[in-house]
Amino acid sequence: MGATIMVQGTASSVGKSVIAAGLCRIFLQDGMSVAPFKGQNMSNNSFVTPDGAEIWRAQAMQAAACRLAPSSAMNPVLLKPEADHRSQVVLNGKAVGSLSSQEWRHKKPEMWDAVATGLDGLRSEYDVVVIEGAGSPAEVNLRASDITNMKVARYAKSPVLLVGDIDRGGVFAALLGTLELLEPEERDLVRGLIINRFRGDRSVLEPLPTMIEERTGKPVLGVVPYFRTIALPEEDAVALENRETRQANDDDLVVAIVRFPRVSNFDDFDPLERTPGVHVRFVDGANGLSGAHLIILPGTKSTISDLRWMRERGLDTTVIDAANRGTPVIGICGGYQMLGESIIDTEGLDGVAGGSEAGLGLLPVQTTFESVKSTRQVQFKMNGGPGLLDGASGIEGAGYEIHMGVTSPVEGACPQATQYVRHGGDLERSGAVNAGGMVLGTYVHGLFDSGSVRAAILGNVASSAGRDARATGDDYSLDVELDKLADHLRENLDMATIYGMFGR
């Protein structure tokens, strides 16, 4: 069986996913076959594997760090929140139903087999498996139902690296408190500590690392500086709360993205944020749409609930008024469904019992929710037309779809398709655009990953706003960014000690 090393954290969002990805790339660079693993996660930011399985987006990034195609074995259990106390359960890449938080806790023992099987399979195939924990292992109220932190470490007899985030403050207390709350055998598995996201002069930390080592008996294996020059997909929606924002320049093209309570796959818009001269802002109120040159309704885990949330805040009428004035509007996945005439969900599959809802009426389509979930990677070819599609005819790209609803034209309407998609067969019509071409809907995540698609759409947005066409930022490479991450960690972690933990 292959070796393992596990990255756990003092809390959620302390940087476990990024540290794990960097270790994956380092081990790969050093000649080992390596794979990532996370037993269970809760997130709506998901990705579709080549065989149509659904996993957490961070494991897909870590697979890229290993230069592997992602697989469901890397994330056997995924919970996708639909409401405050209810989540869709994705087991081994497939949706198997929805459970309340209480129901889920009773079902966790049944999920352990999938976690152990996935980990065993990876260990049998790769030299080393980099395991990521979830949240904190010190949540003692969840210990009995743990299937992703110390239970995994004990099962694999894996050394654990414990990560604390100094940027949020209290890292000494967080590291010490986490260790104090662990059981003795769990504490023994923690072989080193990492202080993450440090800003400033390293010398001002003294004597903190020494104090931590003396108090805990665990070595501090590195202080990892905060970075801004490595462009990686964010781990989860909490990143939208903590991101640093700048003011738009006068000549920027302003893209306003509605930040739904259950927003999903917001990394669709990373390419826009990397495009020079484009200012992206996530908004949760009508005032945030003021001055936008393009409005985007992103994906959401619960279309009806988030559409009602829009109405409560007056965002619905603001979007409609903006579209009527000629401001371009794009809807992706759940956002596409909202742009139609109606959403029909008599069985409550969207997370709202027996819910159906009138849409924004900006596209002549309607969505009906069905129990079969579509999860597939696709290739697409853009259609041409007026407005946002001007000059886009024949432009190709690749992406993926994750949705339960089926969207079709309303009776008597025949809207133009946004693009044609292929999934192992012939091209099929997909998406819709209104008669003027300025309101566009699609199910394809990753639409903006293609530089030529970005150039066409942003060029048409700029033209409608009387601005110059934007550059596309085509030189971005995730592989290059992961190499930068590996270099960053090599410079700041004691890799010799880490290698020694699993006999390398």
pLDDT band at 106 (very low <50, low <70, confident <90, very high): confident
Instruction: Tell me the pLDDT band of 244, cut-offs 50, 70 and 90.
Output: low
Q: For the CA atoms of the chain, what is the radius of gyration? A: 23
CATH number at residue 83: 3.40.50.300
Q: What is the pLDDT of residues 47-89, one digit of tens each?
A: 999 999 999 999 999 999 999 999 999 999 999 988 777 889 9
| Domain co-membership, 31 together with 175 | yes
pLDDT of residue 140: 86
pLDDT, one tens digit per residue, over 8-56 is: 999 999 999 999 999 999 999 999 999 999 999 999 999 999 999 999 9
Percent of the chain with pLDDT over 70: 97
**What angle do the packed helices 303-312 and 315-324 form, to 10 degrees?**
90
Which long-range CB contacts under 8 A does 428-436 form with residues at least 24 apart? 430/378, 430/380, 431/336, 432/336, 432/340, 432/363, 432/364, 432/365, 432/407, 433/363, 433/383, 433/385, 433/387, 433/388, 433/389, 434/362, 434/363, 434/364, 436/326, 436/386, 436/387
Cβ atoms of 53 and 60 within 8 Å: the answer is no
Q: What is the pLDDT of residues 343-364, one digit of tens each?
A: 999 888 887 766 789 999 999 9
Q: Is residue 239 part of a domain?
A: no
pLDDT at 252 over 80: yes
How do residues 438-493 score in pLDDT, each as one tens digit? 999 999 999 999 999 999 999 999 999 998 877 776 778 999 999 999 999 999 99
How high is the pLDDT of residue 240?
62
Same domain, 490 and 470: no
Q: How many structural domains is the chain composed of? A: 2
Are 193 and 125 in a shared domain?
A: yes
Asked if the structure places residue 240 within a domain, the reply is no
Residue 70 located in a structural domain: yes
**Within this chain, do residues 272 and 347 fall inside the same structural domain, yes or no?**
yes
Q: 237 lies in a domain?
A: no
When pLDDT is cut at 50, 70 and 90, the band that residue 337 belongs to is very high
Domain that holds residue 338: 246-475
**Phi and psi, residue 233, nearest 5°:** -60, 140
Domain co-membership, 402 together with 460? yes
325 and 194 within one domain:
no
**In the predicted structure, residue 238 carries a pLDDT above the cut 70:** no
The whole-number pLDDT of residue 219 equals 97
Average pLDDT, the chain: 93
Q: What does the block give as tokens for 364?
A: 């002549």
pTM, to two decimals: 0.93
In a domain, 67, yes or no: yes
Phi, psi angles (nearest 5°) of residue 400: -150, 160
CATH code, domain carrying 365? 3.40.50.880
Catalytic residues: 333, 445
222 and 170 in a common domain:
yes
Same domain, 220 and 279: no
In a domain, 48, yes or no: yes
158 and 197 both lie in a single domain: yes
Q: Is residue 285 part of a domain?
A: yes
* Per-residue pLDDT, 347: 84
pLDDT at residue 133 is higher than 70: yes
Q: Are residues 117 and 263 in the same domain?
A: no
Domain check: are 349 and 210 in the same one? no
Is residue 90 domain-resident? yes
pLDDT of residue 108: 80
Task: Record the tokens describing residue 83, joined without a space.
Answer: 């409401």
The answer to which of 220-224, 247-251, 368-372 has the lowest mean pLDDT is 247-251
352 touches 345 (CB < 8 A) = yes
Helix, strand or coil, per DSSP, at residue 316: helix
Q: What is the pLDDT of residue 204?
A: 85
